[in-house]
């Protein structure tokens, strides 16, 4: 693992560009011995030689060619954000200072930030103060409720997170180069994917990558979208949004899903043929929460017919909870057809025939624009694609 020394990264890129220790030293404003020492330390940390030293100059080794693209992306992103705050920060900011900045911005409290980092509070306070002094501007507004990041600070924090995420990708690429499994795959799982796609995808992936760390996160879409854009989540799997909520994400459709109306076995409407909407609206419902594509379609169905929404609604997106609610009452459920297929197939719920003509919902993967997956992350995406390709209408 690299120490994430920003000066060492800049020296490495300068040598990569100029093929010369002397020119790299001049570009970075340091001595030639400092360049040599920085490269030696970076090579020790990265597990091997990054350059071949020849009389004609320094040329990247295969390891160096793996390392360079990620580090260049990280530093370009970070230096752009630093320069927007103050050009001087591109010369003076350090990784520990930026880590402290991120922690304080997240916690909005120096004491909590220090606790999260495992450092003393004065150390974190000093790191942020040094950044503010070098920038000649405040990065936080001190209020009675805590410290609130300024707009410039928010942009710098986001760039820092993404730059450090890119460095983590570089470390995973080097591990792959050495035949080791390192890094992680972090998946944001929306409700349908937890039962339809991911169980099989994770099992297949584990067969090929038995030691690779995989984390599955579930939660509301907006929270996971924030994690994706910060670099904390690699991919979100589930219903796509139309239109996309922000411009810095890429949505890849995989298959189409349609909603289903469910009831318990023995429900008064089970086996009664096609049920009119006017009849459906007289029952209580369990439906996904507002803000989800499923709920938008549910509401639109009644509104398009000039009908009021049912009076009694329980909001839940879990098929397990919905199944248990339906089993204990005459509630009707509205949820993804694919998500409920196993429950219907096992006779735990029945799917009603209704007048509802649900439009298809695109199910797929959401990633950051410009994101380049590691080998392990790419394998996970390909595995998900292969499983999704077999899913037809239900």
Please tell me whether residues 287 and 314 are part of one structural domain.
Answer: yes
DSSP 237-261: EEEPPSS-SSSSEEEEEEEEE-EEE
| Model-wide pTM > 0.85 | yes
Look at residue 149 and tell me if it is in a domain: yes
Please state the φ and ψ torsions of residue 367, each to the nearest 5 degrees.
-130, 170
Element at 335 (helix H, strand E)? strand 332-336
Please tell me whether residues 219 and 340 are part of one structural domain.
Answer: no
Look at residue 133 and tell me if it is in a domain: yes
Higher pLDDT, 38 or 281: 38
**Rounded Cα gap, residues 15 and 71, in angstroms:** 13
Please tell me whether residues 24 and 115 are part of one structural domain.
Answer: yes
Please state the φ and ψ torsions of residue 142, each to the nearest 5 degrees.
-85, 120
Percent of the chain with pLDDT over 70: 99
CA angle centred on 326, ends 323 and 327, rounded to 5°:
85
Strands across the sheet containing 285-287: 313-315, 285-287, 332-336, 259-263, 350-351
Look at residue 171 and tell me if it is in a domain: no
**Rounded Cα gap, residues 104 and 124, in angstroms:** 8
What is the domain-level CATH number for residue 289? 3.40.190.290
Look at residue 163 and tell me if it is in a domain: no
Number of domains in the chain: 3
**Rounded Cα gap, residues 83 and 90, in angstroms:** 6
Look at residue 64 and tell me if it is in a domain: yes
Q: Is the pLDDT of residue 251 over 70?
A: yes
Q: Is the pLDDT of residue 356 over 90?
A: no
Please tell me whether residues 28 and 149 are part of one structural domain.
Answer: yes
Please tell me whether residues 220 and 348 are part of one structural domain.
Answer: no
CB atoms within 10 A of CB 148: 13
* Cα separations in angstroms, 393 against 198, 256, 294, 304, 390: 18, 7, 16, 24, 10
Please tell me whether residues 102 and 209 are part of one structural domain.
Answer: no
Q: Find residue 142's DSSP bridge partners.
A: 147
Please tell me whether residues 32 and 74 are part of one structural domain.
Answer: yes
Q: pLDDT, tens digit, for every residue of 330-351?
A: 999 999 999 899 899 999 999 9
Q: pLDDT, tens digit, for every residue of 62-77?
A: 999 999 999 999 999 9
Look at residue 382 and tell me if it is in a domain: yes
Please tell me whether residues 293 and 330 are part of one structural domain.
Answer: yes
**Rounded Cα gap, residues 372 and 255, in angstroms:** 23
73's tokens: 């992306």
What is the domain-level CATH number for residue 199? 3.40.190.10
Please tell me whether residues 12 and 150 are part of one structural domain.
Answer: yes
**Rounded Cα gap, residues 231 and 160, in angstroms:** 10
**Rounded Cα gap, residues 184 and 212, in angstroms:** 7
Domain end, chosen from 91, 125, 158, is at 158
25's tokens: 């030293």
**Mean per-residue pLDDT, 175-183:** 90
**Rounded Cα gap, residues 232 and 331, in angstroms:** 38
C-alpha of 357 from chain center: 33
pLDDT tier, 393 (very low <50, low <70, confident <90, very high otherwise): low
**Mean per-residue pLDDT, 32-48:** 95
CB-facing half-sphere around the CA of 269: CA atoms within 13 A: 27
Please state the φ and ψ torsions of residue 307, each to the nearest 5 degrees.
-105, 145
Q: Find residue 186's DSSP bridge partners.
A: 215
**Rounded Cα gap, residues 246 and 369, in angstroms:** 10
Domain that holds residue 286: 259-359
pLDDT of residue 2: 65
Please tell me whether residues 97 and 203 are part of one structural domain.
Answer: no
β-strand pairing of 213-218 with 249-257:
unpaired
Domain end, chosen from 122, 141, 158, is at 158
Cβ partners under 8 Å of residue 28, min gap 6? 7, 10, 11, 14, 35
Please tell me whether residues 87 and 232 are part of one structural domain.
Answer: no
Cite the DSSP H helix spans in the chain.
Answer: 6-18, 21-28, 32-46, 62-85, 89-92, 95-107, 110-117, 121-135, 151-177, 191-196, 198-208, 221-230, 277-280, 293-304, 319-327, 337-345, 375-388
Q: pLDDT, tens digit, for every residue of 81-109?
A: 999 999 999 999 999 999 999 999 999 99
**Mean per-residue pLDDT, 24-48:** 95
Look at residue 169 and tell me if it is in a domain: no
240's tokens: 């796509």
CB atoms within 10 A of CB 61: 15
What is the domain-level CATH number for residue 133? 1.10.10.10
Please tell me whether residues 340 and 353 are part of one structural domain.
Answer: yes
Look at residue 136 and tell me if it is in a domain: yes
């Amino acid at each position: 693992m690299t120490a994430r020394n920003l000066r060492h990264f800049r020296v490495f890129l300068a040598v990569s560009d100029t093929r010369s220790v002397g020119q790299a030293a001049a570009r970075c404003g340091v001595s030639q011995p400092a360049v040599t020492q920085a490269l030696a330390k970076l090579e020790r940390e990265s597990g091997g030689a990054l350059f071949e030293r020849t009389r004609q100059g320094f040329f990247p080794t295969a390891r160096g060619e793996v390392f360079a693209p990620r580090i260049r992306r990280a530093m370009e992103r970070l230096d752009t954000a630093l320069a927007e705050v103050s050009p001087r920060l591109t010369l003076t900011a350090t990784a520990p200072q930026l880590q402290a900045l991120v922690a304080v911005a997240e916690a909005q409290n120096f004491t909590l930030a220090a606790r999260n980092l495992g450092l003393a509070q004065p150390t974190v306070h000093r790191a942020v103060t040094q950044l503010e002094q070098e920038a000649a501007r405040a990065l936080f507004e001190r209020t009675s409720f805590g410290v609130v990041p300024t707009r410039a600070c928010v942009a710098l924090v986001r760039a820092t997170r993404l730059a450090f995420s890119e460095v983590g990708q570089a470390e995973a690429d080097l591990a792959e180069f050495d035949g080791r499994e390192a890094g992680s795959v972090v998946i944001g799982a929306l409700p349908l994917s937890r039962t339809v796609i991911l169980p099989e995808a994770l099992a297949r992936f584990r067969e090929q990558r038995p030691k690779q760390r995989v984390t599955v996160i579930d939660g509301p879409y907006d929270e996971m979208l924030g994690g994706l854009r910060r670099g904390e989540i690699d991919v979100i799997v589930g219903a796509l949004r139309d239109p996309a909520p922000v411009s810095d994400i890429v949505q890849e459709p995989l298959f189409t899903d349609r909603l289903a109306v469910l009831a318990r076995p023995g429900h008064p409407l089970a086996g009664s043929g096609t049920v009119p909407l006017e009849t459906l609206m007289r029952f209580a419902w369990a439906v996904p929460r507002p803000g989800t594509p499923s709920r938008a379609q549910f509401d639109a169905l009644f509104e398009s017919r000039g009908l009021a929404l049912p009076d009694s609604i329980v909001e839940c997106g879990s098929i397990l909870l919905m199944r248990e609610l339906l089993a204990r009452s005459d509630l009707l459920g509205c949820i993804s057809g694919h998500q409920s297929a196993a429950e219907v197939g096992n006779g735990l719920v029945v799917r009603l025939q209704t007048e509802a003509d649900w439009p298809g919902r695109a199910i797929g993967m959401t990633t950051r624009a410009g994101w380049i997956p590691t080998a392990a992350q790419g394998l996970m995406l390909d595995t998900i694609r292969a499983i999704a390709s077999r899913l037809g209408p239900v």
